[in-house]
Structures are given as structure tokens and as C-alpha cells.
Structure 1
Amino acid sequence: MREAKRKPWRGRRLTAVLIAVATTVGLIGTTIGTGEASAAVGKTYWTDSCGMPTNGAFGNKSMAPGKVKVRIWSKPGNRRTVIMLDGMRAEYGTSGWEQQTNIQRLADRGVNVVEPIGGPASFYTNWDAPSNFNGQQRTYKWGCVITRLATNLRKGTGGVPKLATKNGKFAIMGISSGGNAALTHAAQRRDLFYAAASLSGYNYLTAPGMRTMLRVAMLDVAPAPWNVDSMWGPPWSPRWPQNDPFMLINRMYGLKLYIGSGNGLFGKYNYPQNVGDDLFKGTPLEILALTQALAFEGGARLQGLNPMTYYANGTHAWGYWQDMVWNAHRRGFFN
């Protein structure tokens, strides 16, 4: 950097001041930034896949045979733990939560974070059969995986550590298709979960037209196309209402619930380079999620439940889901 001419003493005095300021800032950073210096670090674990395709599935070679990868952020003294589910476009290397958000810092605020990896288009449920459209070799068993993972986290068995619970139970949150899955898991396993949050989830799956919308959406998820009929069977199958949060409201009394959604309008996390994708995918998906959130909220309140809600500008994007998580934290969702 080019330096302007100045008197020697003035230059030395300025240098001394800058050194003093830098030293002070360094000391302040060391003191105030202690939380960052001792921040929880994510660790990788492997848990039973319940017989699902993992190693080599669809050409993926990064998974351990018969195992599901799990990333965990935890600290001694934490008193709560949340299991974070990914969405329909989940990848097998890293959870979208870790790739796109800072919610892992919950571990520095008393809440351990658990992120199961994988499961694109799975809805984190047990499927009836492999998806025959894209050559899936074995049937998804994500319902089994999430249940077994929570059970093992409570005991410290099955390849994962024992983590803090609230009376033996965990919180569970998810985005998009993982959002309705979080509500379903919590409703079906009240012995494992005390709180559930759906962020832009599809909380009324048996609503008219929803199955067709899901069919179309799953045709575009890599490795595409997925056959929705392989998941819960034909429209008249009892497995559809069994996995529909709206139809499970009467099993949610006593659960702490959080329902969040954007309104489909562009907001602070819609960037110029993503306008096309946001406009033709993010906006329609979030408008659908909003209608589903409002329907679920209305049904829940009619049945005497009082879910926390969060509605704001935004499309189907990670930045908005990150904001929802921190909003839930500030409002005591994990308590």
C-alpha cells in the first residue's frame, strides 16, 4: 500500500497507535470471542441403515455399507437435543443444514444438533417398495432409521453418543418434505419426541390435488424420476392418512409445535443469480407450503392446540429456514 509522506515522529506515533489498537482488538477478540474459540465442532458418526440402500446406491460410493452418516454438534452441559431433517433434495455427502446455514451454532447455546445425511425424495418414511422409475435397488426405510437413531441417541448405543434429552425425549425439525416428516415422527412416537417443527413443510398431504403435486415434484429430484406410488401406495392406501400431519393432529396434544412458512414473495435471501430458479420453483413451492401451513394451523387450533407460527416474506430457500430456526430458539421452542 502506498504511504503518504509525513514527519518521522508522526509516522512512528501512528504506528504505535495502530499496534496498540490491534493488540487491544486481539485481546478483546480473545475475551469476547471465547464462545467461538470453544465452539462445538461437528463430528461424524455412522448408524444402522435398517437395510436401506446406502453403499453404492445410484452410483454413490461415499457411504459405509449398511450405515447412514450422521453429523453431530454437542457440548457438555447442553440440556436439549434436536434432530434436523433435510428436504427433498437431500444429498449423501453433507446435510443442507450444514452446507447452507449456521444453525449448528445452537450447540453453543445449549441445544445439541443432530443431522442425518441422505434420503433424497424419501420424506424420511418407510416406503412400500423401491422406486422403480429410477432403478432403486432396495426399499427406503427412513422411518426406521429416524426412530432407531433417536432411540440410540437416548442410550448412547448403535454407533452414536448419548445426548441430552428432556425427560428422555428430543426435538425434531425439518424443512420442506422433512418438515411434515418431523410432525409425523413426533405424533407417532410420543415416547421419543417432545417438540416438532415443520418449516415450509407439506402438512396436509391428503388434501385434494396434493398427491398429484408430489408426483410432479418427485419427477424432478435427482436421481430422477422417483415414483410416488412406491412410497405409500395408491391414493386409497391407508398409509397416506397415517403419514399426513393434518390427520394426526389428535395425536399431538402435549407436543410443542412450531409451524413456519414464507409467502412466496422475494425477500432478503433471493439473489440475482437465482432469480429463475426462485421464481419458477421457490415461489410456487412456498405458496403451496403456506397454504398447507395455514390449513394445519387452523385444524390444530380448532382441536385446541396452540402451535407457534412464523410467516414472513420469502421463497423455498435455506436462508429463510435458518431464520425460522433462530426465531424458534428465541421464543423458547427448545425449552
Structure 2
Amino acid sequence: MRRRTVAVGLAAALTMFGPVAAHAAPHPNDTVTVAASVDHVVELNAQRTAVFVQSPAMGRVVQVQILHPVGNAPRPSLYLLDGVSAGSESDFRESTWTQKTDAAAFFADKDVNAVLPVGGPASYYTDWEQSDPVLGQNRWETFLTRELPPIIDGRFGGNGVNAVAGLSMGAQAAMTLITRNPDLYRGVAALSGCMDTGRIESEAAVRGTIASKGGDADNMWGPAGGPAWSAHDPSVNAEKLRGKHIFVSTGNGAPGPHELGAPDMVEKVAVGGPLEVASQSCTELFRDRLDQLAIPATFLFRPFGTHSWPYWQDDLKAAWPTLADALGV
């Protein structure tokens, strides 16, 4: 692989199973094996299934929706993470990916499981040090990396080859998960994210995101400057990305084809513009960090675009060649 920076011009914008127990592979820090079980399954259509998993780590039943081919032939899995709202727009009936984009149609002809967790607003899909009075118990890293994969592999033909992707909050989470679990994932795509936690600005962004949903970031990784913040910093731990397939994208906050002429253009630019400016700055710093380590990656810098779903729909398609390489499809 070699590092590619891609520039895009304006014109180029683009219940059929019963309960079963699953035992995750031991984690390096585990003394016991974690087990999860399937509470129930709802077949939404021939290529979309909702699985409700009883998670010991989370202490509750967690819904996951899988976009999958017909049949059970062996195939890889892409874990696709949401933004800060994490499905709240649909009252947690589905991931915002399937509500706001054409992800279901896009994956319909792909020989891959697209795995979409539902829920976890402002959670950063990480293991919180303690339960939050508002956001509850969040042990997403344990759930996604140890409890869930055996269920996906066992019920949906997963062949043990995995990649992870996400947008905004989910972009940072995806990059954190792969650096902390490099043996699990072969590739990553991070769309409009901030891939560090060490700078004052980036920590403030994380804290502000969590506070926007009523949570306290001290319950996640402890007080500022604590060891958990650097332990979950993709830039600090970027060496773990060596040999991975990496795609990172961002806009620059300026109006683009998805804003021009839209009735809510002013609102989109006023809200999504500054957020994407911050993402661009973070992405440039992350590119420099990977360059420093001579780690190849593909970066897409759009000369337009706000922090909004139409661009993430476009960027998922732009990321697909990198993810397909990682997944071997």
C-alpha cells in the first residue's frame, strides 16, 4: 500500500433462529472468557436481520442490525459505527446509517456482513470506567470486540476477517478500536473524525460531545490527563496501524453540492460548517502523524462539505475500495 491523498472537485461530488450462547475469544487482559447470548432475532427482510444480544458487559439487551447476503456462505464483516446520536432519530429502531443513507442498498450486492450496532449515544463505543447517571453503563469495546464477533461469525457466515468504519464520533471510535484491537481488524475507515485525545482542543471536543447528551466524560476515561485518555488516543497508538488498510476523509466546512439550493442551507452551514472545519484540522494532524511513522493510508480532503449525512454517504462509497481490500472482497 502507498499513501494517497485524493482531492475531489465540486463537479465530482458524488425469526428464524433460536437463542444460542456465544463465547468470545479471550482478550489479553481477561482472566475469564466473556459470554454473550442471543435473546431473539427478527428477520426484517431477506438481507437485513435484527439480532438482540444479551450482553453481560453492557448489562442489557443490545440490538444489532446486519445487512447480509442471502445464504450463509463464509464472508467477512464490516462493523459500521454511528455518530453521536447513535440511532436516536428513529427512537433506536435502527442505526442512523440505515435511516439517513442508502447503506442498505449499497451493501445489497456486496459479499460482506455490514454490522450496525443500534444505540450508544455519546458513548464513543468504548468501555467506560464507571456507569454514567444519564448515559448508563457503556462497555462497548468489550461488546463489539469480544462478545459480538462470535455471534456474527456463527450465525451469519463470518469468516473471521473484519474491518471497522464510522463517522464523526464513530470515526474516532473506529480508529481507537483498531489501534486497541489490531488482531481483530484488518482495515478502518474514519469519516469526519478527530483521531486524537491528547490536545486541549480534541479533549474539549470529546467532553463537549458527551455533555451534549447529558453525560460526564470523567465517567468514561477519568479526569483530564489520566492514563485512559492516552490509552484511547489513536495518534499516540498509531504504530498499531502499520500494515492496516486505512481510509480517512473530511470536508472543509464550505457549502458544497449537498448544501447549495437546499432549503436548510443556512442551518447546515452554520452548524455543520464549524464541526467540519475542526475535523479537517484533526485529519491534517493525523495525516502528518502517519507520515511521521511512514504508515501508508488514503486521505480524502474534499474542498467543500459540512458535517452532514449526505457527505458520509458519499464517503462510504469512496472508502469502499480500501475496505474491500482489507476484507478481501
TM-score by structure 1 length? 0.76
Which entry has the higher C-alpha Rg, 1 or 2?
1
Change (3 A) 1:290 1:48: farther
Decide which of 235, 247, 258 is 1:258's aligned counterpart.
Answer: 247
Is residue 96 of structure 1 aligned with residue 114 of structure 2? no
For the Cα contact (< 8 Å) 2:122–2:209, is it kept in 1?
no
Which residue of structure 1 aligns with residue 76 of structure 2?
Answer: 80
Equivalent position of 2:171 in the other structure = 179
Partner of 2:129: 128
Asked whether the 8 Å contact 1:263–1:286 carries over to 2, the reply is: yes
| Aligned-pair identity (%) | 28
Higher relative contact order (CA 8 A, sep 6+): 2
Kindly tell me: are residues 330 and 193 of structure 1, through their superposed partners in 2, closer, same or farther at Cα, counting changes over 3 Å? closer
Matched with 1:14 is none
Relative to structure 1, the CA distance from residue 186 to residue 150 in structure 2 (aligned partners, 3 Å threshold; closer, same or farther) is: farther
Q: CA deviation at 1:68?
A: 0.7
Q: Give CA deviations for 1:253-311 in whole Å, capped at 9, x if unaligned.
A: 11111111111111122263433442332111111111111111110121011111111
SS of structure 1 residue aligned to 2:247: strand
Taking the TM superposition and a 5 Å limit, the aligned residue runs for 1:49-64 are 49-52=55-58
Where does residue 279 of structure 2 map in the other structure? 289
1:70 aligns with 64
2:97 alignment partner, SS class: helix
Q: Residues of 2 paired with 1:258 and 1:145: CA distance?
A: 24
For residues 40 and 182 of structure 1, the distance between their equivalents in structure 2, rounded to whole angstroms, comes to 28
Contact 1:103 1:326 in 2 (8 A): no
- For these two proteins, the number of residue pairs brought into alignment is 273
Match of 1:119 in 2: 120
**Helix, strand or coil at the partner of 1:47:** strand
Cα distance, 1:154 vs. partner?
5.6
CA-CA distance at 1:153 after TM superposition = 4.1
Alignment match of 1:249 (pick from 229, 238, 256): 238
Gaps of 5+ in 1: 1-38, 54-65
**Per-residue Cα deviation, 1:82-114 (whole angstroms, up to 9, x for no partner):** 110001111222101000111222241223211
Task: Say yes or no: does 1:274 pair with 2:292.
Answer: no
Structure having the higher strand fraction is 2
Whether contact under 8 Å (1:89, 1:121) holds in the other structure is yes
Displacement after TM superposition at 1:247 (Å): 1.0
With normalisation by structure 2, the TM-score equals 0.77
Asked whether 1:162 is paired with 2:156, we answer yes
Provide closer, same or farther for how the CA distance between residues 78 and 152 of structure 1 changes in structure 2, counting only shifts above 3 A.
closer
Q: How does 1:210-225 map to 2 (within 5 A)?
A: 210-221=202-213, 225=214
Q: Which of these residues, 286, 295, 314, is aligned with residue 323 of structure 1?
A: 314
| Residue in structure 1 matched with residue 139 of structure 2 by the alignment | 141
Distance 1:273 1:307, change over 3 A: same
Structure with the larger helix share? 1
Contact 1:40 1:108 survives alignment (8 Å): no
SS in 2 for 1:302: helix
Asked if the contact 1:178/1:201 (under 8 Å) is kept, the reply is: yes
